[in-house]
Amino acid sequence: MKNVLTTPEEVTPKWLTGVLSENGFLKHGEVTSIENILTKTLPLSVVSRLVVTYSSDVPAPSRLFLKISSDAVPEANNKEAEFYNSVAVGMNASPLIRCYDAAFSAESGRSHLLLDDLSETHFQPKSPLPPEPRHCELAVASMAELHAFWWDHSQLGNGIGALFNESELSAFLSDVEKNVRRFIDFLGDQLSAKRRKIYDRLLASKHEIWGHLTSASGLTVTHGDAHWWNFLYPRDASKHRVCLFDWQLWHIDLGARDIAFTIALGGYSERMASIEQDLVRHYYDSLIAHGVRNYTWVDCWNDYRWSALRNLNVPVVQWSQGKSEQLWRSNLERAMLAHDELRCFELIDH
């Protein structure tokens, strides 16, 4: 079992030489010095930017990004390390940040990641401003590439992620119903009769909405929290590509689920209805370009609408987890608007 770092100071030249050599990124020579040019404490982690020098001119990383997670969310820490150690392996030239080491300790609940530092070539838009349309297109295309790689893959649920069995799905749907009912009761008169009926229809159709997750057919590896600020955007798109990060919630699902979380829910103050269908179409075209077959545009658009229906559960989950009221209320508004504008009720009103 790998040792998990607890402080940036533990990244010594000896330690880094060993890790890079063991993982195949340093063929000869050794690390001679490491300069920590920035350390920042975040709510759930400590991150550092490191500049590395070597004993000779070798093709090894000179700038690294270190993330040391706290023990507050051990399951998420384990998931992220698992992603880099299983899913990301072998995905060359993919829309992922190169990982040089990833480790999780079940004993401490902590993890660390050692990634390429892309701060000189990439940026994030300032929240809550959305990315420019051209960057939105690059983002959905990057998701399509990752989704296409794992689309209907034989390892889904068989070494990569897990599928629901019927018992697990039943328990999950029971929790969905319990939490939605509690949410409705909590809001009381703050929730209109129309919106109460929308949630009633959601629950009445819950097996239809989530039931397909017991089979890998049509599913792929998804990010699970793909808002616009979990992408790094290239300063020069002719030289670099969009990269996704923060993989603590990855799982097997519909590819359109990521897209609906990104676009239909939006992640900022207003929905992107004006460019919504264009972006979903760009995602679909990118899927086809990367080899997905037997999947029509109608299939994709309907999967997107089904996924927008599932967005109604997002504010419920956020409320049940004690997230900020501003967050779950704004997501409730966006999810309801998307439900109406996309006519999601047509999918379940039989």
CB atoms closer than 10 angstroms to residue 91: 14
**pTM for the full model?**
0.94
pLDDT in tens, 20-50: 999 999 999 999 999 999 999 999 999 999 9
If you average pLDDT over residues 59-84, what whole number do you get? 96
The 3-state secondary structure of 193-253, one letter per residue: HHHHHHHHHHHHCHHHHHHHHHCCCCCEEECCCCCHHHEEEECCCCCCCCEECCCCCCEEE
Sequence ranges of the domains in the chain? 8-116, 123-348
Cα–Cα distance between 336 and 309 in angstroms, integer? 9
Which residues, listed in sequence order, are joined to residue 48 by a DSSP beta bridge?
Answer: 39, 66
pLDDT in tens, 160-205: 999 999 999 999 999 999 999 999 999 999 999 999 999 999 999 9
In this predicted structure, what is the pLDDT of residue 268? 67
Q: How far apart are CA 252 and CA 282, in angstroms?
A: 22
Residue 223 in contact with residue 95, Cβ under 8 Å? no
CA-CA-CA-CA torsion sign (104, 105, 106, 109): negative
- Exposed e or buried b per residue across 264-282, where buried means at least 16 C-beta atoms within 10 angstroms of its C-beta: bbbbbeebbeeebeebbeb
Segment 87-103, tens digit of pLDDT? 999 887 789 999 999 99
Alpha helices in the chain (DSSP H): 13-22, 74-82, 133-150, 166-187, 193-204, 206-210, 255-259, 276-289, 297-310, 314-320, 325-341, 345-348
The confidence band for 52, taking pLDDT boundaries of 50, 70 and 90, is: very high
Crossing angle for the helix pair 166-187 and 193-204, to the nearest 10 degrees? 170
CB atoms within 10 A of CB 154: 9
What's the confidence (pLDDT) of residue 300? Answer: 98
Mean pLDDT of the chain: 95
Higher pLDDT: 139 or 268? It is 139
Question: For domain 8-116, is the CATH number 1.10.3470?
Answer: no
Q: What percent of the chain has pLDDT over 70?
A: 98
Q: Is residue 24 left, alpha or beta, with left meaning phi > 0 and alpha meaning psi from -120 to 50?
A: left
Query: Looking at the predicted structure, is the pLDDT value of residue 128 above 80?
Result: no
| pLDDT number for residue 205 | 96
Report the alpha-carbon distance of residue 295 to residue 87 in Å, rounded.
Answer: 23
At 1 the pLDDT is 54
Query: Which overall architecture, per CATH, does domain 123-348 show?
Result: Alpha-Beta Complex (3.90)
Q: Which pLDDT tens digit goes with each residue over 224-283?
A: 999 999 999 999 999 999 999 999 999 999 999 999 999 999 866 677 778 999 999 999
In degrees rounded to 5, what are phi and psi of residue 63? Answer: -130, 125
The answer to whether domain 8-116 and domain 123-348 are alike in fold is no
**DSSP at 73:** -
| Residue 129: predicted pLDDT | 76
pLDDT at residue 45, as a whole number = 97
* Cα gap 100→94, rounded to integer Å: 15
Distance CA 112, CA 316 (A): 31
Alpha-carbon dihedral sign for residues 260, 263, 267, 268? negative
Rounded Cα distance between 130 and 274, Å, is: 13
Token pair for 67: 């993330």
